Chains A and B, each alone.
Chain A
Amino acid sequence: MNEVIHNQTRRDFIRKLAIGAGGLAVLGNFGVVFRLHGATGNMLRGIVVDFTKCTGCRTCETVCSAFNHLVEVDGEMLNGLGNPWLSNIKVHWYNPDVDIPMVCSLCEDAPCIEVCPVEPDEVTGHKPMYRDPITQTIRNNPDTCIGCRRCARACSRQRTGVIQMDANRRPIGMCSLCNGDPKCVKYCSFDALKYVELHDETEFRKMSPDAVARILIERFYDIRV
């Protein structure tokens, strides 16, 4: 069986946004995006976890993987089967028992972009690690990326550690927000994931799983690790 893997494209995201905004043409129109996200000017929306509800089932991993890595089956593009390895959201387990789904925090001051050593190129105007201005998600251009891993290291040392390197030495694991309709949020059976505005003070934002675990273990069990 021939399989072709496609990733969701920026074009799809914009198309969805346009439909949601009643057909407004938003392609390249940055000002409309601000209005769409609210008058406050805080435009950042991302995924947050309610740890009192998460049961660690990892359904989120399987749907992120399935929807973001389509396969071609008999000429039709279908969801993958949901290999957790390909997921952008990853659930970390601990003993004492806490389960911690980690997903890209869409850091405004993204260290992964800051440490990227490659100069912005003339064609795109940005580094290989860049923030997509429409979706606000962090993306990597595999053609200009040199595979140095500094982004993954910075993420791991300073923030959530979601960035991993794939078999081609390119960073993966940055949340795509599934074109504005995040599937992990939709499919979580326990309402543990929400797609909300992100602020500096959003609890657990930009923290490593170990740091979150320490807090939760104390909160749930009154045990200091």
Chain B
Amino acid sequence: MSANGYYGILLDVNLTTREVSRFQVPENDLKMFVGGRGLGMKILWDRLKEPGIDPLAPENPLMIMPGPFLGLPIPSASRTTVICKSPRTSPVSSPYANASSISYASMGGFIGPEIRFAGYDGIVIQGKANTPVYLYINNDQVEIRDATEFWGMDTDDFDKKFIEHLGDRRFRSCYIGTAGERLNPMACIINTAARAAGRGGTGCVMGSKNLKAIAVRGTGQPNVANHKRFLELLEKSRAAFAEDTESRRNWRYGGTANSITSASDRGVQAVKNFQEGTFEYAHKIGAKAAREQIWQRDFSCFCCKLACKKSGVAKGAYGGLVHDGPEYETGTMLGANLLIDDINGLNKAIFIADDYGMDIISVGNAIGFLMEAYEKNLVTKEFLGGIDLKWGSVDATLEMIHLMGKMEGIGKEASQGVKHLSEIVGKDSHKFAIHVKGHEVAAWNIHARPEWFGISYATCNRGACHMHGGSPSAQNQLALRDSIGACNFASSWFRNELAFHNFMSAITGIEWTAESFEQAGERIINMERIFNHREGFSRADDGIPDRFFEDAPTHGPSKGILVERDAFSKMLDDYYTQRGWNPETASPGREKREELGLGFA
């Protein structure tokens, strides 16, 4: 039974012993860390008492955390965060061989609300099953079931067959493809065949536990503290979305794919392995092109009025598959970043990467690196497994995605990321290995916006991340959004009386203000930093690749623009000062920890 928005209970699964218990979350942890990403971070700290643990070891907790907004019909409250220790990142120096940062990834859809309908505030999974299994959750009936028949299945096929196996289409599931099964570092967790908890290798950790899938069905719902007030806010938020605004129309029209052309126009897109900010053929792979040639339907996550997702079917040689694409990140990283302008080929590339269950941002980034290395004759065609990996080649890209998915030959090296690739290629290629802390930079380029994206990528605690935010305040608020389960795309409607913290007050019965909300976000980010610091991360790991200081774009609005090293260093200094962090360790000292209630760390 839920009280005041929370059940206070997490499913605690030990795959080694195959035991499932209920973990009671201390009420103070709910108040301080809220849920979702924040609560996951606290549990990560509590469960991993020593630094340097191998992220593929059984004790790495894999957590699926919905957040207190979920299970309630608040518009767009559909996001669930997956948290674990990262298999992707590493510090410049550390006493620990397996040092790595925190990892988290957010996904939408319906599985988060369903976990809350089933009666849980989240799921914590530790241990490793000795044979492939899936986790079956049907209200309070929780079982670890055999998944041998599904091992070896990629995500689209699995999505269709698993629900038949479960025999009740009300189940919601998330799962890995064969990439996760093979412990591909770029593996992610997929739901509905096209939604991904994409970044940070969470699928790899899931595969390391021999866990194929999690299936959830629930018939309950959380309670709220102030029922009447909650209904008032709910009604008003629905009315706010009912207005026919340009913003709402844009989300419906193109989803994030709208940015494929607009980012290029502004010179801030990742183009040709981040050499450029503008793509001459962006219009061939953008939202308008997709609407005209591919998209058939707009669809939504739970209770969302934006319908930013699209399903379509490509034509011609690359046609016949139904999938959601392009979006901004997938369309840019496998499109503009590789100079691919064939929208049908692009859609196929997106489908294949999703089918294996791989982080498309990292995959596209790695392929861009290899295309550049190949063009510069730093690697041979043989090195690339015989693939003629030219800029703009759909077929070569598809071949490379397959090799990466299967972890064969060069694909195995590439799946370890661009940092690893630049180490084996050598010859100063690290200058165009576009990552931070070992995690690939995403589709927003840096030259023209170092003060926002530079800071976001440089300081994010899971490695390079475009969603972290460019200022402490923005970062704090985004961290809270990941902790309550709200979708960023809908956030601009939640203003004034409809601000997220007002919903939180009605749900929990605790008076949340904009300040206390942001402070909770600050606390979560500091908790992440403390974990990373303990692993050996320091200021040396907060940075951006040399490219942005040395190789200026040659055309478009960002032509000739370079980030100045000293200026960026100063931006980081300012950032640490604002955060109250030690500028060398780039982490909070005793005083800051006490201020945030993190004195225990």
Contacts and interface: CB of A to CB of B under 8 A. Distances in A.
A12 interface: no
Given A83-B221, A223-B322, A59 B73 contact: yes
B32 interface: no
A55 B230 contact: no
Contacts of A190: 305, 307
Given A95-B159, A220-B296, A220-B297, A85 B219 contact: yes
A56 B302 CA distance: 8
A81 B324 CA distance: 31
B227 A78 contact: yes
Nearest to A52: B297
Interface in B148-185: 156, 159-160, 169
Interface stretch (A33-41, A96-104, A129-137): A96-104
A57 B303 contact: yes
Contacts of A82: 72-73, 221
A55 B307 contact: yes
B538 to A, nearest CB: 45
Contact of B227 (A81, A92, A95): A81
A82 B224 CA distance: 12
Nearest to A74: B228
B313 A222 contact: yes
A76 interface: yes
Q: Is the interface of B mostly helix, strand, loop or mixed?
A: loop
Interface string A205-225: 000000000000000111100
A220 B298 CA distance: 12
Nearest to A85: B219
Given A76-B228, A95-B160, A190-B307, A55 B117 contact: no
A73 B298 contact: no
A96 B322 contact: yes
A163 interface: no
A71 interface: yes
Nearest to B169: A92
Nearest to A83: B221
A81 B223 contact: yes
B160 A71 contact: no
A55 B303 contact: no
Interface in B282-327: 296-305, 307, 311, 313, 320, 322, 324
A1 B231 CA distance: 17
A55 B301 CA distance: 9
Contact of A187 (B224, B238, B301): B238
B238 A78 contact: no
A72 to B, nearest CB: 10
B395 to A, nearest CB: 24
A62 interface: yes
Given A62-B73, A220-B297, A223-B322, A57 B227 contact: no
Contacts, number: 98
Interface in A175-212: 187, 189-190
A221 B312 CA distance: 7
A11 to B, nearest CB: 24
Contacts of A222: 313
Contacts of B228: 73-74, 76, 78
B193 interface: yes
A181 to B, nearest CB: 15
A83 B220 contact: yes
A221 B307 contact: no
B486 to A, nearest CB: 15
B297 A83 contact: no
A148 B296 CA distance: 43
A57 B224 contact: no
| Most chain B CB neighbours (cut-off 10 Å) among A62, A63, A190 | A62
A18 to B, nearest CB: 27
Interface string B223-248: 11001101100000010011000000
Interface in B116-144: 117
Contacts of B220: 83, 85
| Most chain B CB neighbours (cut-off 10 Å) among A57, A220, A222 | A57
B313 A95 contact: no
B262 interface: no
Interface string A119-145: 000000000000000000000000000
Interface in B88-112: 110
Contacts of B297: 52, 55, 97-98, 220
Interface string B18-53: 000000000000000000000000000000000000
A93 B72 CA distance: 20
Contacts of A97: 194, 297, 299, 311, 322, 324
Given A55-B307, A221-B313, A79 B231 contact: yes
Contacts of B242: 189
A62 B302 CA distance: 10
9 tightest A-B contacts by CB?
A62-B73, A97-B311, A57-B300, A96-B322, A83-B221, A85-B219, A55-B300, A55-B307, A189-B305
13 contacts: A57-B300, A59-B73, A59-B238, A62-B303, A73-B228, A81-B72, A81-B222, A85-B220, A93-B169, A95-B322, A96-B322, A189-B241, A189-B305
Interface of B: 72-73, 110, 117, 156, 159-160, 169, 192-194, 218-224, 227-228, 230-231, 238, 241-242, 296-305, 307, 311, 313, 320, 322, 324
